[in-house]
């Protein structure tokens, strides 16, 4: 089976979503939002980067459809729109564990 244009677009759409998760700061944000909604300034305080940087990371996640936002007063509150994204963590942990085991085996 060759990858035609339609199939290619399907994988591109999927990759866009996964790519949005592929950054340590954005991963942290998702993890934090799994505990409840957070405003941008709270996240900035935790992350310690410029607020414009945090805002752009949030916009990447929002663009992908992973988070949603709601403005209340001066603050914008972000929330996790698709909790199933948390399932990623479990498998990622498995991969890391397997890598450690493999590294150990390679030494001995």
Partner DNA sequence: GTGCTATTTGGCTATTTTGCCAAATAACAA
Partner DNA sequence: TTGTTATTTGGCAAAATAGCCAAATAGCAC
Q: How far is 11 from 43, CA to CA, in rounded Å?
A: 31
* Contacts with 39 (C-beta within 8 Å, 6 or more apart), sequence order: 75, 76, 77, 78
Element at 38 (helix H, strand E): strand 38-39
- Phi and psi based region of residue 73 (left: phi greater than 0; alpha: psi -120 to 50; beta: remaining): left
In this structure, what token pair is assigned to residue 60? 């990447």
Among 65, 70, 75, 79, binds its own copies (CB under 8 A): 65
Least distance to its own copies from the beta carbon of 74, Å?
23
88 binds, among DNA, its own copies, none (CB under 5 to 8 A by kind): its own copies
> Which x/- pattern over 35-74 shows residues binding DNA (rule: CB under 7 A)?
----xxx--x----xxxxx-xxxxxx--------x-x-xx
39 binds, among its own copies, DNA, none (CB under 5 to 8 A by kind): DNA
Residues that bind its own copies (CB under 8 A): 1-3, 7-8, 11-15, 17-28, 31, 45-48, 64-66, 81-82, 84-85, 87-96, 98-99, 102
């Amino acid at each position: 089976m060759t990858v035609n244009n339609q199939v290619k677009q399907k994988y591109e759409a999927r990759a866009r979503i996964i790519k949005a998760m592929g950054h340590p700061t954005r991963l942290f944000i998702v993890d934090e939002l799994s505990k409840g909604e957070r405003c941008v300034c709270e996240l900035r305080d935790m992350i310690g980067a410029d607020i414009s940087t945090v805002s752009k990371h949030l916009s990447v996640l929002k663009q992908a459809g992973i988070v949603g936002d709601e403005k209340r007063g001066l603050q914008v509150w972000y929330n996790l729109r698709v909790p199933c994204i948390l399932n990623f963590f479990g498998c990622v942990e498995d991969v890391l564990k397997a890598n450690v085991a493999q590294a150990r085996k390679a030494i001995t």
